[in-house]
Amino acid sequence: MTEIASETLPRTDFFDRARALLTLDPPVGLSDPDALPVRGDHDADPVVKAMAAVRPIKPAAVLIPVIDRDEPMVLLTQRTAHLPQHAGQIAFPGGKIDPTDASPLAAALREADEEIGLSSDVVDPIGYLDVYMTTLGYRIVPVVARVHPTFTLTLNPGEVESAFEVPLKFMMEVANHQTHSREWQGMMRTYYAIPFQDRYIWGVTAGIFRNLQQRIYGA
């Protein structure tokens, strides 16, 4: 796999590559139980693929908001501590795909507006990454988008504690992608982590960043 160095990531390079490589065609493996996604928690821990495959399918979508600054930044959220799932974790804006959502893109835009007040008026969708399958049965469609830097946010305090930006080039450097382990439901699990300053980005979010790197800059 080709690694991308910081100095070779000019402002327009990412967006040009993403538009050439990604589409908004319906993603494969979102809801078909016979089509297992190739990406997911099992990338770092192959044993969980069989576990995830027998879970009820929960379609979801997240937005990867890449802010079009002189140095492109990615907008992330830290979830509130009282949530029943993923409390306090760092995540992309997003959530379950509702029956009324016309597409995964529509779901991701709706959730981003509901969670952090990010208006679709400043979001330019580029394309889908691979469907990402989690241990709990979620099949997540990540939507890569270019965000105009004039955006404003209004956080939903019931879901989001804070929103912050991380440099895209840091997240795209393979050297920053680590594998960590912890006990989960009586077994040791291995997962990806990308620590940045005082933030601990791990699990699904880190795994999606890794897939982003592989799709845009991988061999």
Instruction: Summarize pLDDT for 18-76 with one digit per residue, the tens.
Output: 999 999 999 988 988 888 888 988 777 776 676 667 788 899 999 999 999 999 999 99
Task: Indicate whether 219 belongs to any domain.
Answer: no
Q: Structural domain tally of the chain?
A: 1
Cβ contact 17:213 at 8 Å:
no
Please, which residues have CB within 8 angstroms of residue 99's CB and are 6 or more apart in sequence?
none
Query: How many angstroms separate the CA atoms of 202 and 215, rounded?
Result: 19
Q: What is the domain range of residue 137?
A: 6-213
Instruction: Summarize pLDDT for 113-172 with one digit per residue, the tens.
Output: 999 999 999 999 999 999 999 988 899 999 999 999 999 999 999 999 999 999 999 999
Task: Indicate whether 1 belongs to any domain.
Answer: no
Task: Indicate whether 143 belongs to any domain.
Answer: yes
Task: Indicate whether 183 belongs to any domain.
Answer: yes
The tokens of 57 are what? 């399918």
Q: What is the Cα Rg of the chain in Å?
A: 16
Q: Is 110 helix (H, G, I), strand (E, B) or coil?
A: helix
* Predicted TM-score (pTM) of this structure: 0.90
- CATH of residue 21's domain is 3.90.79.10
Task: Indicate whether 218 belongs to any domain.
Answer: no
